[in-house]
Structure 1
């Protein structure tokens, strides 16, 4: 007999807690949440922060009407972790069940959300080229200067370093002495302190090649059909450029990693395998090549994470939704009659939108 206390409500509450404690980037951006149920593909309207102009007063006021500062965001991300559970698993108490199953599942979802947010570097045009021989924090200072010149507010500025950049700058005297406390366990562990007006963190989901030595291709276009795990590359720069297993590119906000080496011939690669299914059909679509290390400096209002709860399926007694602080997790119990196994599904849906590109700058190299 399974543990009567291991209910969908209990698991959903624990899953939400684990998810919140494992998010880094998602806790640093603008959040928009509504309790209205949504499904993947829905378009929701998000209100952007209103801006005003300080007018010279010359005897009478010039009343400003706030413009429509809303933006349409597609809820196009659906992240799911489903796993089978044994009778022994269902006898565990919630602490053991969380440690063995819920925590690994929700860490995977948290990393996916953070990674998707950091993929917005592909939409940010302002860039600082990193000095790979840096012995000081001049690169970080340049990021702050860029935000200063764009008049980004001084409060709620954030810098999220990729692991390579963190350890490059961590050897400098200034950064090695900085220590501060964050708001949650993972955020505390990720926080490096305030540098040049920016609260600074490390997030391992930042875009960069996983190859020891990345390929030489710096630009290319992608052709492929939705659902495919192999794509064609055209317009490769240089024309005999290479890609390495672990190199990645970003297309429409999704990140893909190559799983095998390949070399271009006259600027083309006929077939290159990728690690997951292509999310759409493309014909010579320009990809953002993300083999270099990427970090991102931004004001909170530069990027939005838009979340909505998923509707409960039929048989709601075997499912539950828990939400807090602008994010919700759905838990569904299932049973596969063919294999006679119980399953647990944990999923979230969300959309991502760059609200103000001028309040963000990336560090590349």
Structure 2
């Protein structure tokens, strides 16, 4: 086969396809917002943030008497504010290679860390926003029943049954593989034993990822709710947020809370998001931002979901009482692996093209897109040292567009 001159566009085209293939989480989340960023509004580009309408909710009426409900469409947002890139040098020998050889030797090794960075950002986004957590922190998912606990939680939260995925840490993946290999089910044990593949389980597609995040908890003690009357209503600015501020006490002087920590409150039960039926377990909440208690152990903590006790957007059975005990998932100052089970619409990834830089001839810039992934390859020259260099960049953003549709799973 004759060698092909590897121009910037050829390299960029190979790079974007390799990047798409290497994405783990990125291929399993919602990818439909790229077009929103390409729109012009009155001749102007939309900028780096796009608002997304949250689904409206309603309560059913029983009987003949009408009871009008206001249609409240809250909003959430996704911001393109992340850049992942690699910088490298090609020699004239490299550029003379067949593009297939160049892709294997140079381009693929460059794309792997970019794909990992995008996946890590998606995992971190889920960690900071998913409030459901089943299982015992620190335990691996050692059998099918432990895995099914995550499926049960998704079902209880009325999560659609299609397009469900589970991101498992290497340890949890291997533990579940070992269990599946012992099954006497035609095909299931063969794939688990010979191919190290789990296949679909209970309508969920599990996959192993080294990017599964860990959560290191703060130094907080259990604490209590500091004051009554901390429920909110779904209206105005509150409708544009999944959470609220909760005042806590008894966290210990200078006690810390890490973003992503999960807790429950005594007397505050979970409810089915559709029927509003009270469920037989406490509602879980996540700290969406880090917090540090003052010298008396008090702190104002950003949490999700919002505490809403009535109406179509109800999230809990009752508001917490003053002094209600707060119980955290996992001991203080400990690190726990975080496996994720989620519907595609829980998280979103958006990639948009860079503006082409001034000062570089357009025909020397490689800008390619593939399945919504955009990469830009720009050459530049170090005159004093006579070195030709290349930079490859990806501009993207991630968001938890509906954190109700995901849960963490431990054994």
The equivalent of 1:90 in structure 2 is 95
CA 1:155–1:84 in 2, change beyond 3 Å: closer, same or farther?
A: same
Task: Report the secondary structure of 1:311's partner residue.
Answer: coil
> Where is the strand percentage greater, Structure 1 or Structure 2?
1
| Equivalent position to 2:384, from 328, 338, 356 | 338
The alpha-carbon distance between structure 1 residues 195 and 21, as it changes in their structure 2 partners (threshold 3 A), is: same
Give the drift of 1:87: 2.3
Provide structure 2 residue ranges, at least 5 long, that are not aligned to the other structure.
Answer: 41-45, 221-252, 261-289, 294-300, 302-331
Q: Tell me the C-alpha RMSD between the 2 structures.
A: 4.0
Distance 1:296 1:77 in 2: 22
How far is 1:197 from its partner?
Answer: 2.3
1:93/1:61 CA distance change after superposition, 3 Å: farther
2:352 counterpart of 1:308: yes
Equivalent position to 1:326, from 354, 372, 376: 372
* Cα offsets for 1:77-111 (capped at 9, x unmatched): 10010112222222222112111111001111111
> What aligned pairs does 1:184-203 form with structure 2 within 5 A after superposition?
192-203=198-209
The equivalent of 1:208 in structure 2 is: 214
Does the C-alpha gap of structure 1 residues 220 and 80 become closer, same or farther in structure 2, counting only changes over 3 Å?
farther
The one-character-per-residue Cα deviations of 1:320-343 (angstroms, maximum 9, x if unpaired) are 211121211111111111321111
Instruction: Select the structure of larger CA radius of gyration.
Output: 2
1:124 match: 130
- Cα contact 1:163–1:204 (8 A) shared by 2: yes
Whole-Å separation in 2 of the counterparts to 1:42 and 1:323: 20
Distance in 1 separating the partners of 2:196 and 2:163 = 16
Q: CA deviation at 1:134?
A: 5.8
| Alpha-carbon distance between aligned partners in 1 of 2:139 and 2:106, rounded to the nearest angstrom | 40
TM-score when normalising by structure 2: 0.62
Check the 8 A contact 1:143/1:297 in 2, yes or no: yes
Change beyond 3 A, Cα 1:71–1:166? same
Q: Where do residues 232-311 of structure 1 align in structure 2 (5 Å cutoff)?
A: 291-311=335-355
1:47 equivalent to 2:93? Answer no
Number of residues of Structure 1 aligned to a counterpart in Structure 2: 295
Q: Which residue of 1 aligns with 2:82?
A: 77
Q: How far has the Cα of 1:174 moved from its partner?
A: 6.4
Cα offset for 1:290? 8.3
Aligned to 1:153: 160
Q: Aligned residue for 1:353?
A: 399
- In the alignment, structure 1 segments of 5+ residues that lack a partner are 182-188, 210-216, 222-233, 239-248, 252-281
